[in-house]
Copies of this chain bind each other. A is one copy, B any other.
């Protein structure tokens, strides 16, 4: 049910960018506009979609509205992902977990499959 709007909300790259911004902390609309490079109306519209999906909540502070992430839908995504995670864990094992033991990165081996960087999109 909420799944539908959740996926739809995250399908847009700009919206994912906004969500990534809010991961660092709450932001007012003006700040989001400044940091995302989107126009103000466009930002408001995207925030509306994110709000409808339950991904963000608003706190009204004087004239400005401060948006913050709501973790619940993310958890929902995670739950959806769970069965698949088993799958690729299994396949990683099959490929040989030994390769992961070398946690260092030797120069000349740029095969980074899994980064732990912030979501950039």
Contact = CB atoms under 8 A, between A and B. Distances in A.
Copies of this chain in its oligomeric complex: 2
Given A7-B11, A7-B16, A11-B8, A71 B83 contact: no
A99 B73 CA distance: 19
A6 to B, nearest CB: 10
A113 B54 CA distance: 14
A81 interface: yes
Interface string A94-121: 0000000000000000000111111101
Interface in A42-77: 69, 71-72, 74-75, 77
Interface residues of A, number: 37
A82 B116 CA distance: 6
A121 B13 contact: no
Contacts of A16: 7
A3 interface: yes
Contacts of A83: 23, 116-119
18 contacts: A3-B121, A7-B10, A7-B11, A11-B11, A23-B87, A71-B91, A75-B113, A75-B114, A77-B81, A78-B114, A79-B115, A79-B116, A80-B119, A81-B81, A82-B114, A82-B117, A83-B118, A86-B116
